[in-house]
Amino acid sequence: MSSIISISGVTKTYATGFKALKEINLDIERGEIFALLGPNGAGKTTLISIVCGIVNRSSGSVSVDGHDIGKDYRAARSLIGLVPQELTIDAFETVWATVNYSRGLFGKAPNPAFVEKVLRDLSLWDKKDSKAITLSGGMKRRLMIAKALSHEPRVLFLDEPTAGVDVELRQDMWAMVRRLREDGVTIILTTHYIEEAEAMADRVGVINRGEIILVEGKAELMRKLGRKQMKLELRAPLAAMPDGLSRYALELSPDGSQLTYTYDNQSDRPGVASLIRDLEAAGVQFRDLDTKNSSLEEIFVSLLRQEP
């Protein structure tokens, strides 16, 4: 796969002196779903805004499908569709007018059949003659997506697409993202809902305080940084940890009825078997055990904690 977006050495310092981005280097592969993960204020929206041409970068370069966003901004921008975080639409325009306006703005010839299809796919067709101001929040979100898709972009940016969105729309949106990917559209979504990245993304980038701290395939990331936990339900509560078990760094629940063992499942000797033997030797009996992989959320939180 070749990269469709190439960001190199991009920095952004706002007039206030705030350094929103420090030296970002990132390549987005053609046709992938890339999740940009980060806490609020990490620089996600600034980064997207720079790629889309909304905010000027302080230094560095960005190219979209080989077109520099500065020198060759027309070619670069015409490939990109953007669904911003805020619901910002001209409230007095009808759905039909505003979606066709977006198409025209991106220099595409009128194509009522295509616009109709976009509106139908987003369940907006019934509302085509309604003014934006009369739409519900969820419908406005759909309209923002319709505007971004109206000009047939090859790269779609979804900035916090499911913030404040109901379950139905969220599922519709995920289905739509998968459909677009099948058509070869590259999708970059920012989110702080980690479950979203976990469900959708091929690759995950983590950004914090204006720096990309990690970019990894999702499966790879879960495998590499994932940890496993084994929980043991004890037959009888323990008052204190038996001496023979100290090397396992077990956690004892406050009521003494549960032991938790956290281990690296990539290790050759995870120590599960020896722990069970040592438990028996110490006379600790359990009636049930449960193991689980850590979620992306836990990985994410631990990554941010490691940050200085």
Which CB sits closer to other proteins, 105 or 289?
105
Residue 108 or 181: the one with the smaller Cβ distance to other proteins is 108
As a whole number of angstroms, the distance between CA 71 and CA 62 comes to 10
Residue placing its CB nearer to other proteins in the complex, 81 or 226: 81
CA 159, chain centre distance (Å): 9
Closest approach of other proteins to the CB of residue 162, in Å: 19
Least distance from other proteins to the Cβ atom of residue 207, Å? 20
Confirm if 191 and 162 have CB atoms less than 8 A apart: yes
C-beta of 55: minimal distance to other proteins in Å?
Answer: 6
Complex with other proteins: residue 38 or 84, whichever CB lies closer: 84
74 or 223: whose CB is closer to other proteins? 74
Q: In what order do the strands lie in the sheet with 33-37?
A: 80-83, 155-159, 186-191, 33-37, 203-208, 211-217
Could you tell me the smallest distance in angstroms from the CB atom of residue 119 to other proteins?
17
**Which CB sits closer to other proteins, 90 or 290?**
90
Least distance CB 76 / other proteins (angstroms): 8
Contact 127, 52 (CB under 8 A): no
Tell me whether residue 158 or residue 225 sits nearer to other proteins (CB atom): 158
Q: How far is the CB of 86 from other proteins (least distance, A)?
A: 5
Residue 63 or 100: the one with the smaller Cβ distance to other proteins is: 100
For residue 273, the minimal CB distance to other proteins (Å) is: 57
Query: Cβ of residue 104: shortest distance to other proteins, in angstroms?
Result: 3
Contacts of 159 (CB under 8 A, 6+ apart): 44, 45, 48, 82, 83, 84, 85, 189, 190
Query: Site residues (CB under 8 A) for other proteins?
Result: 14-15, 49, 52-56, 73-78, 80, 82, 84, 86, 88-93, 97, 100-109, 147
Task: Give the pair of three-digit tokens for residue 89.
Answer: 């639409």
CA distance linking residue 238 with residue 92, whole number of Å = 68
